[in-house]
Chains A and B, each alone.
Chain A
Amino acid sequence: MSARETILKRLRERADGPLSAPESDFAVATNRGWSVEERLARFERLISSVHGEVLHLERDDWTQGLAQLLADKGVRHLALGKEHPVAVDARRALADSGIEMVDVDRDIEAWQREQFEQVDAGLTSTRGGIAETGSLWLWPTSDEPRLISLVPSIHIAVLDADALEDTFFDVVEAHGWAERMPTNALLISGPSKTADIEQTLAYGVHGPRELVVLVRHAGAPAGEKA
């Protein structure tokens, strides 16, 4: 008998007899009922508490904010996609900025060391965010692969304010994740961190040292003006 058969047989022929499965009540995981403002405030408070930065920008000229940010951080080499509207906008706006735009639509085998050693920042879109935990929802694609939110020292993520939802449970349910899981689904809630040296927090242990969330607002941003 194979290991598989042996294990399954032992589980099926359980000495104390079959078990009955209880029903689950998920009420505690949903129904927060937050307003748009409450969601945004909560998202910002939580992601800031773990060292994430949030910038509020107007959707129409968000790339100005991006250009300013890149200048402030001294970014010379920015990895980004080509097809997603976020990447298209950014490429157009940065064309004359002197910043090198690093193409990511190449198999990693061809440029692994370049990505690890020469790229300062990665720019990605997001599919949404979670107010309860201050999390970004990313499904990497061939246009925006997995490693550009992980390898460069700075990760810049673009989030639309109206794409914030209350809880992880709500996102999974509302968007039918179970029917269409991608190769890799990610929640990102801050820069990489560790507390393994005597409980002292340190950032950027393996992944980005900095996470900047550019929150795009349809009208004038609530709170500070961009």
Chain B
Amino acid sequence: MSVQTPGVYTYSPREFHRQAHDALGNPQIRANFRKAMDGLMTKRRDSFGDWDLEALRELGANIRLRALAKLPDLLEQLEANCKANGIRVHWAEDGDQACRIIREICQSHDARSVVKGKSMVSEEMHLNAHLEEVGIEALESDLGEYLVQLNEQTPSHIIMPAIHLNTDEISEILHDKTGIERSRDVDYMTAAARSQLRERFMAADVGVSGVNFAVAETGSLCLVENEGNGRMTTTVPPVHVAVTGIEKVVEHLRDVPPLYSLLTRSATGQHVTTYFNMISSPRKAGEHDGPKEVHLVLVDNGRSNIYQDDELLDTLRCIRCGACMNHCPVYTRVGGHTYGTTYPGPIGSILSPHLMGLEETKDLPTASSLCGACGEVCPVKIPIPDLLVRLRRESVGEGRGNVPGAGVKRTRKEAAAWKGFQWLATHPAIWRSGTAVAGKLKVLAPSRLGVWTEYRSAPKPAGTTLHALVKRHQASKAHEEER
């Protein structure tokens, strides 16, 4: 863990255990997340009140599955329709390629200032850092992202990026970094951010946004938001670049309303968001506002690898609602930063290993009690617990070996131990003599067994085996009956 500025750490999935330990010892973090997650769970439940939720989830899952089944065709159709509408389409195999494409678009316009709407894919590929290296400033405009960026952090939740911060901390950040008065008045702070960011929208050369759904049939990009910063980003600057993972495509326009319903209710318990913004072309002749150039960057970055496998494929159904993290007992306790990845919580634990490899992320699939809450709330019915188990198997080399870094957790000792155990357990005579010997030698058993004995006492082999005890008991019983 390298310290950047006092109190601000660089988190890494490799350090999951240490980071979790630190987070659990931080009552502020625990309180902030607990409060927020409790509220979100209640709101979600209430918002589905008058709906046939199961039928809707079934439809949502089915729409996403159909899109994936036709994925290559739909991507080509999306590209053709976007092009026909005047949107330029780019393809990127990984995050670096995508960054390069966006940088080149910016440079072709001599852009110095980029304003961004919320985009998790751009976080995934570290776009801001990439642009800053070539002297282009990238400013986040979603209020939560803006606060997190001012605080030199990364988002701790995919829907509510600043959920780890409370009002006092935010007041301090805004005071420190932008010079406004310290205040607990949320309206005052919001108004200050509004005027700071409005200047930046007016000055921006390029707007970069994410995409919630890309519609193949019409070549339309759909953006879901409450603040209006997404509309600003995609309307005010002269150039708009939308960046999205290749899995975000849907076949028909009519597929969009059910997914939108599921997304807003699952994410924040809202029956609808303030804005649903659908963009199908740059400014046409005679129109008076909107960007003159619109680009779409389609990013693979590991997704086509996930796509190969029937079981892992379900990962790609995700609509990034965040419900799985809101309902996860582990996420709620350790918070989003602990995972050290762009996507935290259950979705992060099943997605990050594909993006970063299991060497980096081997602890994430184990960051779950497999309680099943995530799978139960997922609006597109992703069997998250099953996928966690699959990745655990992959990490110890017991799966298909098609996840990057598979087998990283396999140790020869452990593999040999299990093999030995298997052999012993299937050979009763040797098993019995073995357990008897263990009982005799119990004084030699170690009293410390790593983390296991941190909060527990070490197990001691019993002096007499259960087998022997039962035998003795039966013998004495038979003896009694005889008398």
Given A16-B308, A206-B197, A207-B231, does the pair A185, B278 have CB atoms closer than 8 Å?
A: yes
Contact between chains at A142 and B39 (CB < 8 Å): no
**A146 near B: Cβ within 8 Å?**
yes
CA distance A6 to B299 in the complex (A): 12
Binary A-proximity of B242-261 (CB < 8 A = 1, otherwise 0): 00001000001111111011
Interface pairs A-B: 6 shortest CB-CB:
A207-B228, A196-B144, A133-B272, A206-B228, A19-B69, A21-B69
Q: Which residue of B lies closest to A50 (CB)?
A: B274
Q: Decide: A4 and B257 in contact? CB cutoff 8 A.
A: no
Query: Of all chain A residues, which has the CB nearest B56?
Result: A28
Question: Does any Cβ of A come within 8 Å of B55's Cβ?
Answer: yes
B-contact bits for A168-203, CB 8 A (1 contact / 0 none): 110011000110011111111111111111111010
B88 close to chain A: CB less than 8 A: no
Cβ-based interface call for A145 (8 A): yes
Does B144 lie within 8 Å of A112, measured CB to CB? Answer: no
Interface members, chain A 128-162 (any B CB < 8 Å): 132-135, 141-142, 145-147, 150
- Cross-chain contact A196 with B289 (CB below 8 angstroms): no
Interface stretch among A7-15, A53-61, A92-100?
A7-15
Nearest-Cβ distance from residue B65 to partner chain A, whole angstroms? 6
| Shortest Cβ distance from residue B337 to the other chain A in the assembled complex, whole angstroms | 17
Q: When the two chains form their complex, are residues B143 and A196 in contact, meaning their CB atoms are under 8 A apart?
A: yes
Of B102-110, B162-170, B359-367, the segment with at least 4 beta carbons within 8 Å of chain A is B162-170
Whether A183 pairs with B279 at a CB distance below 8 angstroms is yes
Smallest distance from the beta carbon of A167 to chain B beta carbons, Å? 7
- Chain B residues contacting A185 (CB-CB under 8 Å) are 220, 278, 280
Contact A183-B281, Cβ < 8 Å, known A7-B91, A15-B308, A199-B39? yes
Chain B residues 169 to 192 lying within 8 A of chain A, measured CB to CB, are: 170, 186-187, 189-191
Taken together as a complex, chains A and B put the C-alpha atoms of A41 and B340 apart, in Å, by: 47
Which of B52, B76, B226, B284 has the most chain A CB atoms inside 10 A of its CB? B226
Nearest A residue to B165 by beta-carbon distance? A198
Residues of B38-95 at the interface with A, using a CB-CB cut-off of 8 Å, are: 39, 51-52, 55-56, 59, 62-63, 65-66, 68-72, 75-76, 91-93
Choose from B92, B235, B300, B310 the contact partner of A16 (Cβ within 8 Å): B310
Residues of chain B within 8 A (CB-CB) of A14 are 307-308
A108-B217 contact, Cβ under 8 Å, with A172-B256, A196-B144: no
**Is residue B160 contacting chain A, with contact meaning CB distance below 8 A?**
yes
Q: Total A-B residue pairs with C-beta atoms closer than 8 Å?
A: 252
Give Cα A108–Cα B238 distance, bound, in whole angstroms: 10
Q: Which residue of A lies closest to B50 (CB)?
A: A132
Which residues of A from 100 to 142 have beta carbons under 8 Å from B?
A: 104-108, 112-113, 116, 132-135, 141-142
Determine if B394 is an interface residue (Cβ-Cβ < 8 Å).
Answer: no
Least distance between B243 CB and chain A CB atoms (Å): 14
Is B18 part of the binding interface, using a Cβ–Cβ cutoff of 8 Å? Answer: no
Task: Given A15-B402, A146-B289, A172-B256, decide whether A7 and B165 contact each other with a Cβ distance below 8 A.
Answer: no
Cβ–Cβ < 8 Å partners of B396 in chain A? none
Further pairs besides A3-B91, A29-B257, A205-B190: 17, Cβ < 8 Å: A8-B75, A10-B304, A11-B304, A26-B258, A29-B261, A107-B289, A134-B272, A142-B286, A181-B220, A183-B284, A187-B276, A197-B162, A197-B189, A198-B36, A200-B186, A205-B229, A206-B197
Asked if A28 contacts B52 (CB within 8 A), the reply is yes
What CA separation (Å) do A8 and B300 show in the bound complex?
A: 10
Interface residue B471 (Cβ < 8 Å from any Cβ of A): no
Q: Give every chain B residue within 8 A of A85 (Cβ-Cβ).
A: none
* Whole-angstrom CA separation of A192 from B142 in the bound complex: 12
CA–CA, A207 to B236, complex, Å? 12
Cβ of B97 < 8 Å from any Cβ of A?
yes
| Chain B residue nearest in CB terms to A170 | B257
Q: Is B111 an interface residue (CB 8 A)?
A: no
A205 and B272 contact, Cβ closer than 8 Å, known pairs A7-B91, A198-B170: no
Q: What chain A residues lie within 8 Å of B63 (beta carbons)? A: 24
A8 and B76 within 8 A (CB): yes
- Return A203 CB to nearest CB of chain B, in Å: 8
